[in-house]
Structure 1
Amino acid sequence: MLEVVFSLAITTVLLLGSPGPAPLALAATGASYGFRLGLSFLTGILCGLAVVILSAAVGIAALINAAPDLKHVCQLFGAAYILFIACKIAMAPVATSSSTLNMPVFRDGFILNLMNPKAYAAVLALFTQYTIPVESNWLATLISACVVFTVAVVVDTIWLGLGGILKPIFASPKQARVLRVIFAILMIAAVIYAVEQG
């Protein structure tokens, strides 16, 4: 059982920790506003992921298989929202007293991960590829969900922290704008890639 849990954890790091909309948004938020101010956004992202995990656990895969068009509608809506967050990060005011007014907050993080096609694809892949060897399917799913969520908490916190480390390096308004635009472009590229793969 420990071997399967370890494999699940490693694969979760690779799938959820690779650069995608949520990690890049966290890094951009950390770099723009610092770790402490980014915690609300991080919490929203994690709560959104919890809903994704619960949805996968109760059979969203079956629903999408029954109505394939629903998958494409969800992907397009999610991609549009992630593009909105990317623009919000790129266009937020730099080095002004009101600069936190446009900062991504809990709601933005929650909706971002709730509409993130990469999150659904990763969680569904993890749940279908790794079966915890216990007698109860319910318990196996619960253990898998706990492992995936715990790893996501660590990985997403690291992304926010890495962004926070970049904050002093990009302290000038011009450098901060460049960094935000780079992260926004990377988020858009990640969304395009996810939609094309989906």
Structure 2
Amino acid sequence: MSIDLLPALLAFCFVGVITPGPNNLMLMASGANYGFRRTVPHMMGVGLGMPVLVVLVGIGIIRVFETWPIVQTVLTVLSVAYLLFLAWKIATAAPPARTGDVEVAGKPLTFLQAALFQWVNPKAWFMALSAITLYAAGRDPLAILWVAGAYVGVSTISTTSWTALGQQMRRFLGSPMRLRVFNWTMAALLVATLIPVLWPA
């Protein structure tokens, strides 16, 4: 990949990761429910899980989809089922109980859970496949690493911004009723991200 394409690559990756999607909605919900600090492992899982997916797509997985399209269909079905499960978990999340100043109930996603989530995140697959097709079409290892590195950089901005937004909303969501409405709204929006997957244009 030519260095002249780097600004376009960064812009492509930034637009992809900063716009609403499963990762960002879940990070905002986690920031609102658990705070920024407890969401850091979730943020790191997203920030590093996505580039790993990009690398693996670039070095071979994309060929699997091209050879056996049924694999992509099976992955789509699993992704939809898991996202619906996560939406239900968010919608029914209990408000964190408190002991003094320490929240003791509820668990945000771990680093590993957030990283593995990228494998069933339809938006992550779309971004990885599109980025490789556009900016590493020749499957050159250096070009694939450039794409992965771009996602590392822009994900830092995105994960921090969405988690901080959720944390700032905690003051408004102080009552259990408001938090419950917020969680159901986030769950509904998460389900809405499946519309392009189920009914592509």
Same fold (TM over 0.5): yes
| Structure 2 unmatched ranges of 5 or more | none
| 1:52 match | 53
Match 2:109 to one of 100, 104, 107? 104
Aligned counterparts of 2:43 and 2:184: Cα–Cα separation in 1 = 20
Q: From 167, 170, 178, give the equivalent of 2:170.
A: 167
> Which residue number in structure 1 is paired with residue 123 of structure 2?
118
Q: Compute the displacement of 1:47 (Å).
A: 3.5
How much has 1:102 moved relative to structure 2?
4.1
Query: In the TM superposition, what are the counterparts of 1:3-14 in structure 2 within 5 Å?
Result: 3-14=4-15
Identity of aligned residues (%): 28
Which residue in 2 is equivalent to 1:185? 188
Distance in 2, matches of 1:195 and 1:130, equals 27
Q: Per-residue CA shift, 1:99-122, capped at 9, x if unaligned?
A: 633433334322322211110111
Residues 25-174 of structure 1 aligned to structure 2 (within 5 Å): 25-97=26-98, 100-131=105-136, 137-174=140-177
Contact map agreement 2:54 2:144 (CA 8 A) in 1: no
Q: Post-superposition shift, 1:95? A: 4.0
Contact 1:92/1:102, CA 8 A, preserved across alignment = no
Distance 1:172 1:99, change over 3 A: farther
C-alpha spacing 1:47/1:177, structure 2 compared with 1 (3 Å)? same
Structure 1: which 4+ aligned runs deviate by more than 4 Å?
none
The structure with the largest helix share of the pair is 1
Deviations 1:151-174 (A, max 9, x none): 122212211111111111211111
Distance of aligned partners of 1:104 and 1:86 in 2 relative to their CA distance in 1, 3 Å threshold = farther
CA RMSD in angstroms, aligned pairs only: 2.2
Distance 2:41 2:119 in 1: 16
CA distance in 1, matches of 2:144, 2:51: 13
Which runs of 5 or more structure 1 residues have no equivalent in the other structure? none
Q: Normalized against structure 1, the TM-score is what?
A: 0.88
Q: Structure 1 residue 177: deviation in Å?
A: 0.8
Amino acid at match of 1:137: D
Query: Deviations 1:5-30 (Å, cap 9, x if unpaired)?
Result: 11111111112221111111111111
Range moving further from structure 2, 40-49 or 87-96: 40-49
TM-score where L is the length of structure 2: 0.87
